[in-house]
Amino acid sequence: MEKMISKSDCILLFKRKNHFSEQDLSSVILACKERNPQAQRCLIRQFTGYAKSISLRYAANIQEAEELINDGFLKVFVNLEKYDHSQPFKAWLRKIMINTAIDYYRKNQKWHEQVSMEGVEISDCSSDILSEISAQEILTLVQRLPPAYRMAFTLFVIDGFSHKEIADMLGIQEGTSKSNLRDARRKLQAMIKIYYPHLYQLYHWPNRGFNAN
């Protein structure tokens, strides 16, 4: 039936405009495929928050995150024809945003300062102290990580990629990915100690099994 309708639409001289409903995502996506500006704005409005939450984890600051969002949405609209409607749009968007972040990282890799972990004190961390820190503060800590550590940490911990996948995506060795992750954790622990000394002293942290991968 759908095929019949589409054929008749092709015959029509004036195609009926695809009216979309903001609640109906598929109609919005269809309208976006027809390059309807209102639908494009609607899609951006609906998913900017989600895209920003992903981008912020991979970016060093809000400006970098905005750039990732811009590039990510650009990819979305350019490749919208390739989108498989059987898959959730959010998952597709997430994949694009992560790939955009990785591309950005690889493009700007040579400008990133190489951070040495020499001198970083390795200590244990308590779950109580982490629960006391807000999500925004945690995000700030992650954003303060060097890009290589941040990429490895976010890809492995937040988005659940394996070291092999991370190594493939970033073009590094699997071992490098593991070491980056370990160093990221150490760096985060050190930053908690530096930025939240009162919490650090409040709780007693057993030093066991922390550096395991």
Q: Which is nearer to another protein, 1 or 135 (CB)?
A: 135
**Nearest distance in Å: CB 100, another protein:** 13
Q: Which is nearer to another protein, 7 or 86 (CB)?
A: 7
Q: Rounded to 5 degrees, what angle do the CA atoms 54, 57, 61 make?
A: 115
Q: Which residues are within 8 A (CB) of 90 and not within 5 positions of it... i.e. 6 or more apart? A: 47, 50
Q: Which is nearer to another protein, 157 or 172 (CB)?
A: 157
Report how far residue 177's alpha carbon sits from residue 161's, in angstroms, rounded to the nearest whole number: 11
Return residues touching another protein (CB under 8 A).
Answer: 13-15, 34-37, 40-41, 44-45, 48-49, 52-53, 56-57, 63-64, 66-67, 69-70, 73-74, 77-78, 107-108, 111, 124-127, 130-131, 133-136, 138-139, 142, 157-158, 185, 188, 205-206, 208-213
Three-state SS letters, 89-144: HHHHHHHHHHHHHHHHHHHCHHHCCCCCCCCCCCCCCCHHHHHHCCHHHHHHHHHC
Q: Which is nearer to another protein, 1 or 110 (CB)?
A: 110
**Nearest distance in Å: CB 57, another protein:** 6
